[in-house]
Amino acid sequence: MTITIQVPSIILPTVAPLGTETEAIDDLVEHTSLEFLVENLQEKTIHILATEAVAFGVPGNLLCWVELSPYPSTIFAGPPGVGYWSAIGGGGGVLVPLTPIIEVATGVNLTAHTINIAWNIHSRYARLVIQTPVAAALPWAFWGVQAIFEGRT
């Protein structure tokens, strides 16, 4: 039996031609990753590197969760989150789930936080959603986030 590890793929920011880009997060908006096919993968993991960019103040806490769906969002009219997307553990779509992963900021510039989200629930599609519930100190403090997905067949 051959085990194949999927080549890790950057899913956030949604456009990362150099592979070093990050997405700035601290603005009360849900930042939704690229959605990706996970139907035939096992041991699925999203690796998040969140770095605090602080000139003054503290960025708001970072909330992270994975949403699953049997269908890609492109087949539904309306904003992302409409249709069949739901978070692992409940909630999701247009609602923050009941139990997101919460990363607490330190307020120290360039402090790096690593978050790993692994799951075994089966679905066709997955995506990562990240937000801060409070715009604490924009534009002087925010998170620079990059997320990478991997799994095995």
CATH number at residue 80: 2.60.120
What is the chain's pLDDT, residue by residue, as a tens digit (153 residues)?
555 556 789 999 999 899 999 999 988 888 999 999 999 898 899 999 999 999 988 999 999 999 998 888 765 555 554 567 888 877 776 677 888 999 999 999 999 999 999 998 889 999 999 999 876 677 889 999 999 999 988
Query: Is 21 inside a domain boundary?
Result: no
Rounded Cα gap, residues 54 and 72, in angstroms: 36
Query: Is 2 inside a domain boundary?
Result: no
Query: Is 105 inside a domain boundary?
Result: yes
Q: What is residue 100's three-state secondary structure?
A: coil
H helix runs in 13-97, sequence order:
none
Residue 125 belongs to domain spanning? 9-16+27-152
Q: What is residue 132's three-state secondary structure?
A: coil
Query: Is 60 inside a domain boundary?
Result: yes
Query: pTM for the full model?
Result: 0.87
Burial readout 43-68 (b: 16 or more C-beta within 10 A, e: otherwise):
ebebebebbbbbeebbbbbbbbbbbb
Count of structural domains within the chain = 1
Q: How far lies 25's CA from each of 5, 29, 52, 107, in Å?
A: 30, 8, 10, 14
Q: What is residue 121's three-state secondary structure?
A: coil
Query: Is 22 inside a domain boundary?
Result: no
Query: Is 98 inside a domain boundary?
Result: yes
Query: Is 85 inside a domain boundary?
Result: yes
Query: Is 4 inside a domain boundary?
Result: no
> Burial, 123: exposed, middle or buried (Cβ in 10 Å; 0-12, 13-18, 19+)?
buried
